[in-house]
Amino acid sequence: MHEMSIAESVLGIVEESARREGLRRVREVRLEIGRLAAVETEALRFCFDAVVRGSLAEGAALAIEETPGTAWCFGCSATVSLSARGEPCPRCGGTQLQVNGGTEMRVKELFGA
């Protein structure tokens, strides 16, 4: 389950950012995760709750904003929306697609005290 290592990395970013901003406690963490990033959000929530125990983010809410997946279709020369890797172009049905968005993951905001 790579969501555990993702949660640990997020905690590291949160702790570093909180210290830099002088926060003693983190109440909420907002993540932005692309639809094509291959992250199971419910598993990530479970792992996040486990890794923040005993940290300054213990009990923090985890808000996840999902960003759309996009790809360039070589068949119709258009940027199209995708909900999953491997699906055909919704415009022309072509299968030669180059993913160009929706694979990102970032810590967007922290709220604390």
| 13-19, long-range: CB < 8 A, 24+ apart | 13/107, 14/56, 14/57, 14/60, 14/107, 14/110, 15/55, 15/56, 15/57, 17/107, 17/110, 18/56, 18/57, 18/110, 18/112
What is the tens place of the pLDDT at every residue in 2-59?
A: 999 999 999 999 999 999 999 999 999 999 999 999 999 999 999 999 999 999 999 9
What is the structure's pLDDT at 1? 57
Residue 42 belongs to domain spanning: 2-112
What's the predicted TM-score (pTM) here? 0.84
Distance CA 81, CA 73 (A): 10
What does the pLDDT look like over 58-111, one tens digit per residue?
999 999 999 999 999 999 999 999 999 999 999 999 999 999 999 999 999 999
Q: Give the model's confidence band at 113: pLDDT under 50 very low, under 70 low, under 90 confident, else very high.
A: confident
Query: What are 24's two structure tokens?
Result: 């003693």
CATH of the domain at 27: 3.30.2320.80
* Total domains in the fold of the chain: 1
